[in-house]
Amino acid sequence: MTTPRKLFIKTYGCQMNVYDSERMAEALGASGYVGTDRAEDADMILLNTCHIREKAAEKVYSELGRLKPLKVARPDLKIGIAGCVAQAEGEEIMRRAPVVDLVVGPQTYHRLPAMEAKVRAGGRAVDTEFPAEDKFEHLPRGPRAKRGVTAFLTVQEGCDKFCAFCVVPYTRGAEVSRPAARLLSEARDLVARGVREITLLGQNVNGYHGEGPDGRSWTLARLVRELAGIDGLWRIRYTTSHPNDMSDDLIAAHGEVDVLMPYLHLPVQSGSDKILKAMNRKHSVAQYLALLDRLRTVRPDLALSGDFIVGFPGEEDADFEQTLSLVRAVGYHSAFSFKYSARPGTPAAERPVLPDTVLDARLQALQALITEQQRAAQQAMVGREVDVLFEKPGRMAGQMVGKSNYLHAVHATGADLTPGQLRRVRITASAPNSLAGIAV
Ligand code: 5AD
Ligand code: SF4
């Protein structure tokens, strides 16, 4: 018997990259690789990179600097760059970093086994095409690993929205939705392997318009309703959404589909109409607020999360104040905020940037407000009972960790708790980033 080769993957960025890393591991599993948690043991190291914000490429080069001694010690070691930095800077990486053996973009990793064979034979390989074929249809399947309680499922990729700051339309390409029949069968397979909660992924997931088994175009709402019929699938989530694709049927689904969790990540980016326009978001603050009203009418306990960019070119103090007002008006359960970072090739990259001191101050002010809201939302859970899907044992004996419907991390104690259970938990305390409780 030959010993299997070992694969170490380091994943940066979004949940879609996490999903892609799993697929790449499966694809290389078919070539005889097994996963390892230790880069030192690996025969192949893949960095699955993110290009969304600053210093992405620099991070990759400094990581490569750290990996170089491993390669010097074991010239057999192969190093690959995958993901969005690979897509954006493939040839440049090959030129600048001789330690790199292969570069593969997010749309071509089904070709990894062939690329791997080529680099094993001593060559180098680059593939950053946007091929006509669907990678998911052509992915080799390695041994089917046992699954945890929760899983991601990519249903849509790419983006046609072209927000002025965003690199995704260039790194991930145009919007493509996967056929619904494939997704339903993958979801059934995940459930058969123990998954109880599926998060549907897409850069613009609520713009999903995949072909249905009936030959018609299905919306995300239609897909969600169909998935909800799978026995043993207890929870469905989806991320990330654009306000303009929040269709009537999807809003209705939030009131009608009980396995669709009451949590929605709906980025707005800014609370100023002037800045929204400059960002090419194509909606106003009032339209966003009206949308939230409709969602809260059908699902009053909906927990909202969002993304914000501070210091977009042209953002004045008054614009930023409007972002703070919007956050106060909405009351987010959690939110992510970022300093604007000019991305090469995007329209906003041509515009004058604000001083970094301004960005820092605004980020601090916004994050303080968001943290305050998040703490208050968590504190409001104390004394209430929530459903928790348990994922793994906690650090303390007898403790189990899981997520509430609203995506809080919950540490619970109680008799006979095991991963994969969905239990009522009475919340007894709120820590900065999690809740504690007792299973009832
Ligand atoms: N600068 C700062 N933040 C950005 N994001 C996307 N592009 C940029 C950029 N150029 C943020 C947005 C998006 C999240 C995933 O990352 O808020 O919703
Ligand atoms: Fe990074 Fe965005 Fe690409 Fe995800 S989609 S890997 S966050 S650049």
Tell how far the Cα of 405 is from the centroid of ligand 2, in angstroms: 26
The four Cα atoms 128, 130, 136, 140 give a dihedral, to 10 degrees, of: -40
Mean pLDDT across 33-49: 96
Per-residue model confidence (pLDDT) at position 115: 96
Contact 208, 160 (CB under 8 A): no
Mean pLDDT across 342-366: 96
Please name the residue ranges forming H helices in 167-283.
Answer: 168-171, 180-192, 220-227, 248-256, 273-278
Tell how far the Cα of 379 is from the centroid of ligand 2, in angstroms: 32
The C-alpha atoms of residue 40 and residue 375 are separated, in whole angstroms, by 40
Mean pLDDT across 35-60: 92
The C-alpha atoms of residue 430 and residue 410 are separated, in whole angstroms, by 9
Report the chain's mean pLDDT, rounded to a whole number: 95
Domain 5-135 has CATH 3.40.190.10: no
Per-residue model confidence (pLDDT) at position 164: 98
Substitution candidate for ligand 2 out of 12, 16, 47, 152 with most atoms within 8 A of CB = 16
Sheet with 33-35: strands ordered across: 33-35, 5-11, 44-49, 78-82, 102-104, 125-127
Number of residues assigned to the chain? 440
Which is the closest atom of ligand 2 to the Cα of 83?
6
Could you tell me the pLDDT band of residue 136, with boundaries at 50, 70 and 90? confident
Tell how far the Cα of 146 is from the centroid of ligand 2, in angstroms: 27
Q: Which of 277, 207, 275 is nearest to 239 (CA)?
A: 207
- For residue 47 and ligand 2, the question of a CB distance below 6 A is answered with no
Domain spans of the chain, in order of start: 5-135, 147-261, 385-439
Closest ligand by atom to 16 CA: 2
385-439, CATH topology level: OB fold (Dihydrolipoamide Acetyltransferase, E2P) (2.40.50)
Domain 147-261 identical in fold to domain 385-439: no
- For residue 165 and ligand 1, the question of a CB distance below 6 A is answered with yes
Per-residue model confidence (pLDDT) at position 333: 95
Could you tell me the pLDDT band of residue 358, with boundaries at 50, 70 and 90? very high
Read off the pLDDT of residues 153-210 as tens digits, 9 standing for 90 and up: 999 999 999 999 999 999 999 999 999 999 999 999 999 999 999 999 999 999 999 9
Domain 147-261 CATH class label = alpha beta
- Per-residue pLDDT at 233 exceeds 70: yes
Substitution candidate for ligand 1 out of 309, 343, 370 with most atoms within 8 A of CB = 309
Read off the pLDDT of residues 85-112 as tens digits, 9 standing for 90 and up: 999 999 999 999 999 999 999 999 999 9
